[in-house]
Structure 1
């Protein structure tokens, strides 16, 4: 067993590694090294926490750690990049549920300490946490109860909210917004009742108040996320990421674990910043999103005129061979089809022919920020031709050919032209301004969010139907 000083030093080292990891993830070239910083930091955190003072029960802790690690390795190898958003949501649910369990246990231990001290004035046989509780004065015990309330409430909301987000992203739950009769009033009533139960709990009421508050928080998490549509799910995932961090930080205060406090604060603050960035990228009001779209657009969407005109590989290749400038806009469909390597080869051929080829990346392309950048980096697409929306949006008007691969909402002109559209006001890539637009798409469906796209009906747009990977593979031999 290590001394507390040694554990504190390890905690500082792990915290620095986590900060370096977060900082490095903002750059594609440093991202791989940044991930290793995070891996090493977490290994240090787990190891030195397990070996710290007052920790026991290794006979069951070690097998559980091995089982958990084995499950993690299995999931990491099995999950595709396209499934990463729902995996992130699932992992958030684990953090939330852990916060609930730790909070419950902390309160039960607090009650046991108080009962034992009153009866025997002894702390013999107490756990490390219980012994810590026994040293606290009444004011400190009140702060402990506040920490428990916050950790349990945020954790419970995070758990059920993340489970529903996972279901929607994985297609196991309908992506359309749904609420029970009463809608937002149910959420407000549950929140008000939770506050009342929290006050009763802090006033000395029994464990039942904490349990009932947890059940209400579980409902709030479920009902909030059920009321959010598929178009807003990227913001929801980052929001839940933030919630899980704050839940962890609250439990860190409960356990007097400095590393958990720092790590939770890092996750919570970075998730909140990311949520703000994504709301800005989608022109969404953050409060409206988390309230299930409260105050969203009203009225019927504008009718779309015209028809979708199909084109074959030969027609697309002919246009590419005649073009001087090409912009490729990748989306979730490219990820699903695992077409990034074929797209990379197409890019190489076009650039070898002297054409100006670039990529336009929307901040929420692929349902999570950075998803497309990672796929393109894996396929060895040069970093300098992968541009963000703000960097490339003004260039579409002077571009000969745009190839949209598996995108819908991020290239939807209804966001700017139809005030009644569910994505009204959302900044999008203005691909329709190019001379020719080719949309690589499986079929005529509306995509994940269920929103129709007028782009597909425009005169300068042709639909290149089929699996994205096969379509690009068919295109490659025809490109000179």
Structure 2
């Protein structure tokens, strides 16, 4: 009973952490509380399993802590999605290793239930590990971000892997050679994790990162059943459930079906040729190339009283958040009201954009989510889009049959004036041409955001 009470205390602490991290103002405190409870849980586990005198255990604990602290200092904010993906994978691998050890209990005559849960934990853990590694490599551009389908819809792989798993399971029951089961189950789960992640396109990475985070928790929870540890069961369940909730939020924000995401059926190549009709962007490009301040941009910026800035992943890639901070400071010094609209999937993971902006000291109070900021665009004098494409594409409301049709977007086109600072006029990850670029109230400035944003800052002086 005391073990359950202690486990409940730790679980309540982790739930408190999640609650505090829902607000930017209390997120840091929540993170520290979570770290403290996790450290205490590790120490408690070591003590309860009699590992105090195990020098090898303490050595690996120190090595792991050193690696974690080092990564925390070395990894840049732009690389945070990759790091989260890797950490999800490490969590899955840890569960798989414990499950492998737990599966050996069956030979000692332990209940088949423990062996079964160990097998499930091994499957989910290995799937999480390989899937997370592929996702991290896609985010790091080590492998292409486009979806890779060996067969349409991925049904052939699923059927083959399921049939192989059943055959191996039956043969194991007949022969009694459970080592074969563990080895082949590890291989099958690892292969499926690779296939699952390869099928997902770069635009859907926020969903995948959330799902893999959930899988790591589920694997840990099942492992807890296998080794009969209530603390591991509860903590894993908290992570698994929160990850599933976040996955649902991400799917809703992108108007995605989870099965479509996992089969790579949402991201396509360029559906329509770019609109080459001359408009204000060609004029601005010519003026900017001559090194002359654009009078139209200056007039638009200086006449605006209410400004909304919409950052996207292009801003993150260009590492232009510092330039955005300079722009905000300049606008506010000129007496303008400035707000920042954040789409739920503006980065490559949930909350990524908020972290990048906080890194350069932008006040949390200026950040507004999509539901809060959308009603304000119609009363806004100027919206400045920086490195965002699909999340501001009006085609989401009209282009039926496309990957973004029905996806909630930031309604920037309703503003009186819009300035777009994107790299070029090519479609985003969805492959759908952005009709925002050709609207009459829109000025486009093509180029790297770290170079184009300062031109707007200069114009407001």
TM-score between both structures, scaled by the size of structure 1: 0.86
2:434 corresponding residue in structure 1: 453
Q: CA deviation at 1:19?
A: 1.2
1:212 corresponding residue in structure 2: 184
CA contact (8 A) 1:10 1:44 kept: no
CA contact (8 A) 1:321 1:479 kept: yes
- Distance in 2 (CA, whole Å) between partners of 1:299 and 1:80 is 30
1:128 corresponding residue in structure 2: none
- Distance in 2 (CA, whole Å) between partners of 1:271 and 1:462 is 39
Q: CA deviation at 1:413?
A: 2.3
Q: Give the counterpart of 2:324 among 310, 321, 343.
A: 343
2:83 corresponding residue in structure 1: 87
Q: CA deviation at 1:402?
A: 1.1
Gaps of 5+ in 2: none
- Distance in 1 (CA, whole Å) between partners of 2:361 and 2:38 is 29
Q: CA deviation at 1:340?
A: 2.7
Equivalent residue of 1:51, what SS? Answer: helix
Counterpart check, 1:69 vs 2:50? no
2:44 corresponding residue in structure 1: 48
Equivalent residue of 1:427, what SS? Answer: coil
- Distance in 2 (CA, whole Å) between partners of 1:175 and 1:39 is 33
- Distance in 1 (CA, whole Å) between partners of 2:67 and 2:431 is 34
CA contact (8 A) 1:103 1:151 kept: yes
RMSD: 2.6
1:126 corresponding residue in structure 2: none
Task: Map Cα deviations across residues 267-299 of structure 1 (whole Å, 9 max, x no partner).
Answer: 100000000011011111122222332xx5999
CA contact (8 A) 2:310 2:342 kept: yes
Counterpart check, 1:387 vs 2:368? yes
Task: Map Cα deviations across residues 211-254 of structure 1 (whole Å, 9 max, x no partner).
Answer: 21221111111111111111111101101111111001011111
CA contact (8 A) 1:164 1:226 kept: yes
Report the more deviating stretch, 64-73 or 440-449. 440-449
Counterpart check, 1:240 vs 2:212? yes
Counterpart check, 1:223 vs 2:204? no
1:131 corresponding residue in structure 2: none
Q: CA deviation at 1:81?
A: 1.0
Q: CA deviation at 1:388?
A: 1.3
1:156 corresponding residue in structure 2: 126
Task: Map Cα deviations across residues 353-389 of structure 1 (whole Å, 9 max, x no partner).
Answer: 3323221111111122222223333444343432211
- Distance in 2 (CA, whole Å) between partners of 1:166 and 1:392 is 31
- Distance in 2 (CA, whole Å) between partners of 1:53 and 1:299 is 54
2:395 corresponding residue in structure 1: 414
Counterpart check, 1:369 vs 2:350? yes
- Distance in 2 (CA, whole Å) between partners of 1:297 and 1:341 is 31
CA contact (8 A) 2:270 2:427 kept: no
- Distance in 2 (CA, whole Å) between partners of 1:449 and 1:187 is 25
1:256 corresponding residue in structure 2: 228
Report the more deviating stretch, 161-170 or 438-447. 438-447
- Distance in 2 (CA, whole Å) between partners of 1:338 and 1:83 is 11
Equivalent residue of 1:61, what SS? Answer: helix
Q: CA deviation at 1:22?
A: 0.9
- Distance in 1 (CA, whole Å) between partners of 2:440 and 2:417 is 9
Q: CA deviation at 1:405?
A: 1.0
Equivalent residue of 1:438, what SS? Answer: strand
Q: Give the counterpart of 2:147 among 154, 158, 177.
A: 177
Q: CA deviation at 1:189?
A: 2.3
Gaps of 5+ in 1: 115-135
CA contact (8 A) 1:142 1:202 kept: no
Q: Report the CA distance shift for 1:385/1:299 in structure 2 as closer, same or farther (over 3 A).
A: closer
Q: Report the CA distance shift for 1:97/1:307 in structure 2 as closer, same or farther (over 3 A).
A: farther
1:106 corresponding residue in structure 2: 102
Report the more deviating stretch, 386-395 or 301-310. 301-310
- Distance in 2 (CA, whole Å) between partners of 1:53 and 1:210 is 25
- Distance in 1 (CA, whole Å) between partners of 2:302 and 2:93 is 55
- Distance in 2 (CA, whole Å) between partners of 1:99 and 1:256 is 13
2:303 corresponding residue in structure 1: 322
Q: Report the CA distance shift for 1:299/1:356 in structure 2 as closer, same or farther (over 3 A).
A: closer
1:117 corresponding residue in structure 2: none
- Distance in 2 (CA, whole Å) between partners of 1:298 and 1:336 is 21
1:471 corresponding residue in structure 2: 452
- Total equivalences in the alignment: 448
Equivalent residue of 1:175, what SS? Answer: coil
Q: Report the CA distance shift for 1:397/1:202 in structure 2 as closer, same or farther (over 3 A).
A: farther
1:288 corresponding residue in structure 2: 260
Report the more deviating stretch, 419-428 or 276-285. 419-428
- Distance in 2 (CA, whole Å) between partners of 1:387 and 1:473 is 23
Report the more deviating stretch, 419-428 or 373-382. 373-382
Q: Report the CA distance shift for 1:40/1:145 in structure 2 as closer, same or farther (over 3 A).
A: same
Q: Report the CA distance shift for 1:77/1:382 in structure 2 as closer, same or farther (over 3 A).
A: closer
Equivalent residue of 1:89, what SS? Answer: helix
Task: Map Cα deviations across residues 50-78 of structure 1 (whole Å, 9 max, x no partner).
Answer: 22234366221111111111111111111
